[in-house]
Structure 1
């Protein structure tokens, strides 16, 4: 009698057959739109920051005011934006990565901030470098706090997200339950 091939159809039904792991989706599967909007937003934000550096250039020996204000303004806007989209308005799922990560991530700059500090140190201006480091950190955090607090206080009197979109849905009762607590129908 012929012996069945171990990889044949019989092997699929054998309890001793090895079980393969289910296929996993690719790590980037479904993320293309998010990646695209972050890239587009980042380009817009970086272009705006570059425009600011052209409008308000800083000389080689000057204080990096442009980078300072770009970072502070960017932090203020992110504080405002996060309150609006998390506590007030329902937005499309791509708005947050586009504007928050992309535009504001491209507009604000940690790398230029670090290079500015290094440049000030190399120029023999450590006190200015440390003042810039501390001032940017404190001003950026204060800007986020101020924007978020102001937004919450300003928007407190208007309708909230749930009021604007209608009442919260109630739990649906099943076929064996009634809305009265503790009573079951048969």
Structure 2
């Protein structure tokens, strides 16, 4: 029961952060490309890379902190389902370049952000 509460609290914080950040970006970005979803997903990958690298050195993600941060906060901050829906809807509307561009950018920037987060922590710890 305690872990459920910990994940729930982290999920609430991640959802609030996603709502605020995504809304902020959406109001300031050109339409119809889903920059808001791409941004929170890339940010989540970057944060996870940092946390994993720190966790290896300081055991940061062991126990309850791991459930709180990885599953709760980052699980609700990022969203694969919205990414998929926005990409498909762009393609269904005939905007294949933006739809496929979103898929390509999400994969490349997400992987890149994760590697960057891990790499920076590894470099700083050396």
Common topology (TM > 0.5): yes
What is the match of residue 35 of structure 1? 4
What is the match of residue 45 of structure 1? 14
Structure 2 gaps, min length 5: none
Alignment of 1:6-155 (within 5 A): 32-57=1-26, 61-89=31-59, 93-155=63-125
- Deviation, structure 1 residue 57: 2.0
Tell me which protein shows more helix as a share of its residues. Answer: 2
Measured in 2, the distance between the counterparts of 1:150 and 1:57 equals 29
| Cα deviation code 1:90-132 (max 9, x no counterpart) | 5661001101111011101101101111221122101211111
- Deviation, structure 1 residue 63: 0.7
Larger Rg: 1
Measured in 2, the distance between the counterparts of 1:55 and 1:91 equals 29
CA RMSD of aligned residues (A): 1.9
Measured in 2, the distance between the counterparts of 1:84 and 1:65 equals 28
Aligned length: 125
Measured in 2, the distance between the counterparts of 1:64 and 1:36 equals 32
Scaled by the length of structure 2, the TM-score of the pair is: 0.89
Measured in 2, the distance between the counterparts of 1:92 and 1:57 equals 35
Measured in 1, the distance between the counterparts of 2:61 and 2:108 equals 30
